Every structure is written in structure tokens, then in C-alpha cells.
Structure 1
């Protein structure tokens, strides 16, 4: 060691850990971040797949088929688009979405892709008709994102079938390309966000041409409906746990209690949904979907998330079902919900019921109610006109009991048995005024005789009709032959007027043809004899 090296000060370094670092494995795809998680504008899973494919410079369908589809299908090489029913379920809550999310999370090393679907609501929501079968978009949003330099993507809210309006611009969503006039599938080989999947032209626009399809009331309703669905999507990441079906049933029972005093019929009437559907939800026989459940929440001023998670808050405005001054509905003694009608309507209905008491023959109460436009069991009329309804029913029963005179009916049947041509059993039932089963049960012998005689008559009629058809076909064939026209089936059929089925016509035509038409003789080819050869 020389003097210079001895003069330099020595530096003491810290100890170096030479153990191998725990480096996580590399992801197969880029760890691309989804857009809008925690907001109503959260990206859809299909839109994420399309952006991921373009980031890797591959076709979205190729990426899907090579990396994901082998979990569902056999290998497919040539396909232009993923089938619409399958693609529609990618954003839903069934097993398809679960497998796709799990596969993509493994490929990208992300753990938040389930927020791009309804998987967190799979226990309380059904996929049935929840999403569109084709693409929908807002041209104004596309143009704004492009002008601002933002990433262009496909929000999940645009794919929900119940929502038909853009929350940002309050304009209807577009479903047809303005350039090629075609609908776009949900995912295609040429799919690119903001562009038509068919002609690949830009779909953004600074303004919409044409008038909107929404009225003022419908537009307001669509805004409320889409806002409610957007709130559900925005609050999905903040769920402590996945809501269970028991929690949904508790929330639905609480809503029925607050809004309808535990009366399902009133609840279904006010929410404009069939009462059987509500009972199926309560029993767990079926799960609700967004298309049916969201309007229920709007009509009852309920939160969709609170109803699904069983956290129903007290309603600010209770129904005024039992208030005299604001009553629009009334519960009758049968537990049914009846609409309150004006005094003019009630008096007109009273006059119709009174007139039925003087009609001959006496009508049944059901026939009278049908004249009034009543399609149900008539609880309203029993409650408002009990005496008239009872009198009409009693008068009709007395008429029916006294009208059924067995001896008179037997005489009528015997007279019909002697008629020529004999009537059918349906005609007998109509003329007597009783059902065929009752007549056959009361007069079995006469009924069998009537049936047998009518059967024989029909057989003779068919035989006579065939003979008439044969004569007419023979005349037509002879007429065509005289004109030098070959009588084929098509020409003869057009000229025949006797009604007959095609099978019967062909059979008779074949018989007449064998009888009258002689096939042309074919001249036999001359035999080559040994002499002619010479």
C-alpha cells in the first residue's frame, strides 16, 4: 500500500442484505385502472375489456376468445362478435360474470374489477332483462371527453336496459349509428370506444339533431329512474358485505308495512306491479330485476339501495289512503283495493244494474258486469250495490232452475233427431241453451243417437262431395283437352269450384287422369339388324 492510499480516509458502509427480494410475479396484461369506480359513471366490464385490448393492440374478440372464452366454450378461431345473450351477462351478477372477473383479475393483478358489474348484488338482483342486447351511447359525452382529452370509455349505466337517458345532458341515449344506420353489438372484433363497431366512424357530436322522443313527464321520470340506478352503482364499493336475500325480504316487508299497513294488494296497486310478483319476492321464488324494482322504488319514494340491503328509512310522506279529503283508493271488505269513482259514474252504473232486473231472459251478474267493463270478480259492485247484485243473482238462479225442464228438453232432442239434415251436437247445445256436457250427462242415449246420426250424415256428405268433385274435374279435363291444353293439376285446380282439401283433390285428379288421359306413346327406337349394318 502506497502513501497516497494510506492517507485517504476509510468509509464504513452499512450491511447489505443479500437475500432474494420477494418480487410479485408479472401480470400477463397491463395493470390498467378502471374508470369511475365509486361513481354513477363507473366503467362497464365490457368497456374495460375493449380498452384493455386496444392497449395491447389486439382485437377485443381475439383477447376474449384466447384468454377468457376457454372457460366456457370450445376453441373458436373465426368469430366476428361475442353472442349477444352471453355478452349481456358479462356485466351482470351470474356465474358468467364471476368467472370473467376472476380471470381478468388474475391476468391484470387487480382486485377491483367486480365493481364493474353487479356481482355485489347477486343475492338480491336477477340478471333477467337487466342489460341491453346492443350498445347505447351519448354522443355529447363522447365529444366532451375528446375535447377535454379524457379517456373515452363505455359506462355501465348506459348498458342498463331500464335507463334510456343520459344523466349529464338529459338527452336520450342513441342505439343506431348515424352514419351506417346499424345497431352495434356489445363487443365486436373492431370494437373501439367512441366509434361505431360496424363502420368505425366517430360517434361523438357537439349537438343532437332531431327531436327527442320523450315528453316532459317521461323525461322527468327517466331522469329519476336513471339517477336511482346510478346511485346504486356509486354505492357498490362502499358495501360492508354483500346483501343477502333475507335482508331484501326484511326491507320489502318494512316497505309494505310503512306504505300499505302490511296489505300486499295495496302495495302492489300503488307500486304498479302485480301482487303475485311481490309474493314471489317475499317467498324467495324469484329475484327482482332492475327493470321491475326501480319503478317500484320511484312510485313509493324509496331508495333502491336501502330496499335491497334491508335498511328502509322512514318515509317522509305517508300514503293518504285512509284520509277522507285525499282518498284515491279504498279498501273494501274483501281486502281489495278499489278506485273511488265520481258520483256520475256511480249513478250510471246503478241504472245499468236496475235495467238488468227487467231484461228477459234474466242475465247473469257476470254478463252485466262485463257490460260495465269489469274484468275482475266484481268486488266493487258488491260493496256499492249489494241489494241490486243479490237480486240479479237470485233472479238468474230462479230462472235457470225453473227453465231446466227435462221433459221439454227431451222432446226437443227427439225432434232434432228427426231433422234432416241433422244438427251437430254444438248446434244442439246452442239451441237448447245448455252445455254439451250437461246434455250428454242428462240424456246419454239421445246424445249418442244425435252424435251417430250426424257422423253418418257427414260421411255421406263427404262421399257426395267427392262425387261432385270428380264430375267437375272430369268436365274440366275434357274441356282442356279439346282446347289442346294438357290438364295438369295446377290448371285444373284453378278452374274447379267445389271446395276440397289438397289431398282429396290430388286423389280424385289421379283417378280421373288414369281414366281419361292416355299418356303419349313413345316410338320405339329402330333395331339395328345385321342387314342394316351392312
Structure 2
């Protein structure tokens, strides 16, 4: 019986993270970790690989300009080279190469590198190497499904972007500019739409598609038949797609973008995973238009215990306030009872109005008493003035001789003039 020879690998047989799951590692991350395991910079490993396969190295060579995470021929070539050098199979599953006969490139690449701080923090907490998830490299994915938070694109320490892996030396999970841990970034809750997109793409990446390249046109025809009775124009209008684009899919072998596939999945009530598996036999369209759950903010009253008000006891307390010698304002009565004035007017209307009216009458009586004192004091001052053989007295002179309490009367000068006129 012969045994298969398994030669030693040229590079470390480093196993990819998250294979077969929604959190599968990207080839970019795998390459950086492979370089780190050899104590090499990512640039040097990339240059060594190109030299090993007798490929030219540009004078301004930057390794991160290589296409590691997409679906191009270059991406596939790097996956093949690394598979041969490490002895690890299926490294193309760390890219979108298995889906390139289904998805077109436009709208695929995000404006800047992103990551989930919670994932990186969790990786380090579990004492494993932090790694970059493949789904983070696609523009339609803006959230982490596992932690329900939005992805970040700026270093929490230096504030720079594109610092995840775009440098000569890369330690995955750490800023290539300042060296700070990228998992320290603050996070915000993701929207239902973002989580739905992340779930669809994650499930798609967990399983390679089963639809062959020669079956894509038939798949699209079936989708349009199911969703719009075969009317491509109506289908395009319903999904807000270009009519010429849909025509190009059916007649010229064009491919939908990833956002277009997501729109089909959303309106059709089916997952990308099932679409790419061709499982359409039992597919039923949703009877109601798709609507995401609205994410409401936390109520400021959350945690505040409601209370039952004993209105009979409150009314008795208000009657006690009415029986007191000194009237008080309704605001003071509210403080004593712990009830807002609106509720008092609604539930103890008679008592509330009685307290307010009693205080108003009390204030009016005080005002009348003050004015009477003012009249008497002005009369006394005039008499003193006349006894001293002065011809008269001005309102200013009177006001200067009044005590402090009488000076608080509203429109004092007017009241003084009125009192002078009454005593002439």
C-alpha cells in the first residue's frame, strides 16, 4: 500500500481564522499574520514571494497595493502562491474569488479600511491573534453582526484612517501610524438595516456558491420571473435598478453588483446564501413590504418608578393648608404635596383654586394696607412741612423720607403724588 508524500511547507502552515463561518479571515489578514510569524515585514514577505515566483518587483513597490481581498486574477494568484508555500488549501475562500462569476466589482470596495473594535478586543481577551474579517472589506457591510455595532475606520489614538494594514510593517489589530490598539475605539449601536446587510454577506461568505458560471443567467431569469412575472423593466423599477443594467445581465452576461444582490434578497425575502445555492423551488415572496424595525432611543424616564397618588389624602392636606393662618402660593402647596400644579387643577380643582385665590386676596389686602400707611405717612410729612412754614413738598422729597417697606410699593412715585394731592 503506497502512502501519499506530504512534503514540508516552505512557509509556516498557518491556519486561517474563522473558516466556514460568517467571520472568516481575509487573505490580507492571513498574509500579515504569516509575515509576523516569520519575523518579517509584510513588504519583505511580499517581495520574497514575487522573487520566488520570478515576478518583477516595481521600484516603488508597496505590498498593500496588491489585490489580496477582491476577486481579480491577481487575488487568485496570490491565494494559489500562498497555498503552495504554506500547504494550506482553499485560501481562495479568504477572498471573493469563488463569487466572481456572480458579483461585479463596482460598489464593492469601501472608501477606507474598517474594523470592529469589539472583535479585536475579544480576540485579544481570548489570547489569540487579532485578525481582520473578510466581510469588513466590502462597502455594503458597515456593522458587526456579532456585537451589533458599527464598524470603525479611524484610529482611536491618533485619529488617522487607513492605518489597519497599509504599511511596510503590520501587526494585525494595531495602528500602523501610532501603534495604538485599534480595539480601543468607541462604538455605536448599528441600525437594523446595517445588521441585515452584515448578516447576508456573512452567511454568503460562510459557504461558497453552488451556482456554476453557466447558470447565473438562468438564475437571474428565474428571479425576475418570480418577482415581476418576467418583466425586466418592472423588476428594475421595483428595486430601483437601471433598466439597461438588468437588460445587460440577461442579454450580455453582465453581473449584478453586491448592493444589487442585496436589494434582490431584501425585496424577495430570501437570503443571499439561498440565492447563490439556487434554492428557489420553495421560494415565496413576502406578502407585506419589507420594513426594518425602528430603533428607538432609551427613554429618559427608564428606571423611574411610577407611583399611585392618594387623592383623598392629598385633598385633606390641601384643606389643612387652607386652614393655616398665613396663606401660601399654589407653588408652595405643590412642593408640600409633591404634585404638579397641573395635576392639582385636574384632580383637586376646588382646593387648588381656593389656595390660589386666598393667596391673591391676601396679597391684595397687604397692598391696600401698605397704600393706606403711605397715605397716612405722606399726610404726616405734609403737616410737618406746613407747620415749619414751608410752602409745599415734592414727591421726590417725600419718597426720600419713606421707610424701606413703603418704598417697595409698585409705582411709588405715582402713589406719593396721589397722596399729596389728597392732602392738599
TM range (shorter): 0.5 to 0.7
SS in 1 for 2:143: coil
1:199 alignment partner in structure 2: 178
Cα distance in 2 between the residues matched to 1:144 and 1:225:
22
Report the Cα offset of residue 126 of structure 1: 2.2
Cα distance in 1 between the residues matched to 2:75 and 2:226:
36
Is 2:194 the partner of 1:222?
A: yes
2:343 alignment partner in structure 1: none
- State whether residues 268 and 275 of structure 1, in contact with CA within 8 Å, keep that contact through their aligned partners in structure 2: yes
- State whether residues 144 and 150 of structure 2, in contact with CA within 8 Å, keep that contact through their aligned partners in structure 1: yes
RMSD over aligned Cα atoms: 2.8
Cα distance in 1 between the residues matched to 2:112 and 2:224:
36
Report the Cα offset of residue 125 of structure 1: 1.9
Cα distance in 2 between the residues matched to 1:80 and 1:94:
18
Cα distance in 2 between the residues matched to 1:183 and 1:273:
32
1:468 alignment partner in structure 2: none
- State whether residues 260 and 267 of structure 1, in contact with CA within 8 Å, keep that contact through their aligned partners in structure 2: yes
1:91 alignment partner in structure 2: 69
- State whether residues 250 and 310 of structure 1, in contact with CA within 8 Å, keep that contact through their aligned partners in structure 2: no
1:143 aligned residue (76, 99, 121): 121
Is 2:19 the partner of 1:47?
A: no
Provide the TM-score with structure 2 as the length reference.
Answer: 0.62
- State whether residues 248 and 307 of structure 1, in contact with CA within 8 Å, keep that contact through their aligned partners in structure 2: no
Report the Cα offset of residue 320 of structure 1: 7.7
5+ long unaligned stretches in structure 2: 290-424
SS in 2 for 1:283: helix
Report the Cα offset of residue 48 of structure 1: 0.2
Q: Deviations over 1:48-105 (max 9, x none)?
A: 000000000000121112213776963246655522xx43xx2222211111011101
- State whether residues 24 and 206 of structure 2, in contact with CA within 8 Å, keep that contact through their aligned partners in structure 1: yes
1:286 alignment partner in structure 2: 254
1:274 alignment partner in structure 2: 242
Q: Deviations over 1:178-217 (max 9, x none)?
A: 2111112544212111101111111113x726x66x6xxx
SS in 1 for 2:236: helix
Report the Cα offset of residue 286 of structure 1: 2.2
5+ long unaligned stretches in structure 1: 1-19, 322-534
Cα distance in 2 between the residues matched to 1:307 and 1:279:
19
Cα distance in 2 between the residues matched to 1:170 and 1:69:
43
1:134 alignment partner in structure 2: 112
SS in 1 for 2:144: coil
- State whether residues 163 and 225 of structure 1, in contact with CA within 8 Å, keep that contact through their aligned partners in structure 2: yes
Provide the TM-score with structure 1 as the length reference.
Answer: 0.50
Question: How many equivalent residue pairs?
Answer: 288
Is 2:234 the partner of 1:256?
A: no
2:39 alignment partner in structure 1: 57
1:163 aligned residue (131, 141, 148): 141
Cα distance in 2 between the residues matched to 1:194 and 1:320:
43
